[in-house]
Chains A and B, each alone.
Chain A
């Protein structure tokens, strides 16, 4: 189980994430929604500590992740694979190598580090990567440079890299924000599939609430770094949606910013 306890991150005087506490049972798919700047990315990045928390803790099965250092931290990062909005593939390396990179922290043995750096992956590892790529219809592109692929293909390669890590958790930071609707749907289905078939816990940042409704077990609404909604998609009605996305801040007295009609439910595209 993944637990966040009072997780907080401040940038100067701005509090990006404000005392978020949360328990995610294994195998749950959580959609985190909110406006740009609500703290979604920061929250996700604190889980694998690409961003260090200012206060609070992250626990995995009772183990304090926030205290990990060095080797143990790298092992944890391998355990929770991250998917990025801009894919973060190494553009000049071929697709196969990009996927094999997912094994780097999984290789064991006296020479594993060295052979990994030299790119001397075993035949078994290569076959495994090819099998994975094949599942996403990308085996034929294995020897092309990553930069020659379309955005949707690149994101699927990134998912292959993530699955090569044999993770326990997948952190997806706006995985579909740079994709067209068809590719977005394919990527969301791939995440859902990993979640259902392999029982992976998935935390997925989204700014399209209807996508979160369609694919997630649980929705977390973030506003100005605080959790303003936490529940199943069915419980997210128009009023609660307004609390996440609306122009009036829930805590602010009186109107702030120009008056605007509340967005119709299911159409709250915030960008």
Chain B
């Protein structure tokens, strides 16, 4: 604070002062020349790569235009949406999808919680075990839900069971990773508080850690449930039960109005789940004082 210059609010620097500052701290005015050159080079390389990729995939305005007109034909056929003759079938499929998503997510979350805890640095201190567990998560994450579904359809046969198992298998690893990270980011001091009262290892987890990560656990599980209702529509296409089968059949025979009806139904269902889970989150997580884990 010493050596302050007297004078107006912030004196407007004269050109010579600007030049003096530029000489003293050139990096405050512009990045280093080498850095700027690198930026331009990287930017140019990215644009070239993008152009090449678009060209490789045949992104021509012609094809996009044709595709658009094909899409409008389908959209025209979708209006007005109609339930067709098989109301009961559609509702059954929707119910099945909901059940698959719910069971699959629940199963995944229940398995992911202990796995996530084991994968967290601050819980499992045995490095090698944790490392191998993390790599198993990575491996499982590399396999998409659809691939799991195809495998389970062969293994346990057509139907919703394959769907439930596919959803659970695909989500366990992702949820475990998210839970492990939430646990690692938890505040140490709160756990230390439990240790300081003489609490054991499990008591520390239960009272120091769980209340901190419970909101993440619940919020992620609810989000995965909602997302799985949407993907349950795809699983049906490969024979893993649910509404997807109904959609696939109708697309095959070009009953676009009925497809549109099912899509609208799905949108409504997802919106309802979203609203419900938002209420649930508010109730269970809420503000300070509202949560009790």
Report whether A124 and B18 are in contact in the complex, using a CB–CB cutoff of 8 Å.
yes
Given contacts A123-B22, A130-B28, contact A193 B9 (CB under 8 A): no
Chain B residue with Cβ nearest A121: B29
CB–CB B13/A128 < 8 A: yes
Interface-lining segment among A16-24, A44-52, A137-145: A137-145
Interface of B: prevailing SS = loop
A136-B4 Cα distance, complex, nearest whole Å? 8
Residues of B within 8 A of A137 (CB): 1
Min CB gap B70→A, angstroms: 39
The answer to whether A247 has its CB under 8 Å from any CB of chain B is no
Q: B6: shortest Cβ distance to chain A, in Å?
A: 6
A166–B28 CB distance below 8 A: no
Return B3 CB to nearest CB of chain A, in Å. Answer: 8
Residues B4 and A142 in contact, CB atoms below 8 Å apart: no
A123 x B18 contact (CB < 8 A): yes
Q: Across the interface, do B12 and A126 meet the contact criterion of CB distance under 8 Å?
A: no
Interface presence of B8 (CB below 8 A): yes
Please determine whether A193 and B4 come into contact, CB atoms closer than 8 angstroms. Answer: yes
With A124-B18, A126-B21, A193-B1 as contacts: A131 and B13 at CB distance below 8 Å: yes
**Cα distance, A189 to B4, chains bound together (Å):** 11
User: Within 8 Å of chain A (Cβ to Cβ): is B27?
Assistant: yes
For chain B, residues 1 to 21, give those with C-beta under 8 angstroms from any C-beta of chain A: 1, 4-13, 17-18, 21
List, in ascending order, chain A residues with CB within 8 A of B27's CB: 143
Chain A 119-174 interface residues, beta-carbon cutoff 8 Å to B: 123-124, 126-128, 130-132, 135-137, 139, 142-143, 163-164, 166
Task: Check: A179 CB closer than 8 A to any chain B CB.
Answer: no
Docked-complex contact B1 and A126, CB < 8 angstroms: no
Taking residues whose C-beta sits less than 8 angstroms from the other chain, chain B's interface range is 10 to 19
Are A142 and B28 touching (Cβ within 8 A)?
yes
Q: Whole-angstrom distance between the alpha carbons of A186 and B21 in the complex?
A: 25
Q: Which residues of A contact B1 (CB under 8 A)?
A: 136-137, 186, 189-190, 193
Determine the residue in chain A with the shortest Cβ distance to B8.
A198
Q: Is the CB of B29 within 8 A of A166?
A: no
- B28 lies within 8 A of A126 (CB): yes
Q: Choose from A164, A190, A193 the contact partner of B10 (Cβ within 8 Å).
A: A164
Known: A123-B18, A123-B22, A124-B18. Contact between A131 and B10, CB under 8 A? yes
Q: Is B196 part of the contact surface with A, judged by Cβ < 8 Å?
A: no
Q: Is B25 an interface residue (CB 8 A)?
A: yes
> Contact between B10 and A166 (Cβ–Cβ < 8 Å)?
yes
Number of interface residues of A (CB under 8 A): 24
Per the bound structure, the CA–CA distance linking A95 and B42 in Å amounts to: 27
Asked if residues B4 and A135 are in contact (CB atoms below 8 Å), the reply is yes
CB closest residue in chain B, given A163: B10
Q: If A143-B27, A163-B9 touch, does A131 touch B21 (CB 8 Å cutoff)?
A: yes
A130 with B21: CB separation less than 8 A = yes
Contact between chains at B18 and A127 (CB < 8 Å): yes
B22 touches A127 (CB 8 A): yes
Selected from A127, A142, A190, the residue in CB contact (under 8 A) with B13 is A127
- The reply to whether the CB of A96 lies closer than 8 angstroms to some CB of chain B is yes
What is the bound-complex CA distance between A124 and B8, given in angstroms? 16
Q: Which residue of A lies closest to B4 (CB)?
A: A135
- Given A130-B28, A131-B17, A186-B1, the answer on whether A124 and B12 have CB atoms closer than 8 Å is yes
**Alpha-carbon separation in the docked complex, A164 to B13 (Å):** 13
A127 and B4 contact, Cβ closer than 8 Å, known pairs A96-B28, A164-B10: no
Instruction: From known contacts A127-B17, A131-B13, infer whether A139 and B25 are also in contact, taking CB-CB under 8 Å.
Output: yes
A197 adjacent to chain B (CB < 8 Å)? yes
**Could you mark each residue 27-39 of chain B with 1 if its beta carbon is under 8 Å from any beta carbon of chain A, else 0?**
1110000000000
CB-based nearest B residue for A100: B28
B12 CB → nearest A CB, Å: 7
**How far does the alpha carbon of A143 sit from the alpha carbon of B26 in the complex, in Å?**
11
Report how far A126 CA is from B1 CA in the complex, Å: 21
Cα A139 to Cα B27 in complex, Å, equals: 12
Residues on A with beta carbons closer than 8 Å to the beta carbon of B22: 123, 127
Cα distance A136–B5 in the bound complex, in angstroms: 11
Cross-chain contact B5 with A143 (CB below 8 angstroms): no
* Given A130-B28, A131-B11, A135-B4, 13 further pairs, Cβ under 8 A: A123-B18, A126-B21, A127-B18, A127-B21, A127-B22, A128-B11, A130-B25, A131-B10, A142-B28, A163-B9, A166-B9, A166-B10, A197-B6
Residues of B within 8 A of A (CB): 1, 4-13, 17-18, 21-22, 25, 27-29
Ranked 5 nearest A-B pairs via Cβ? A127-B18, A127-B13, A127-B21, A166-B9, A130-B21
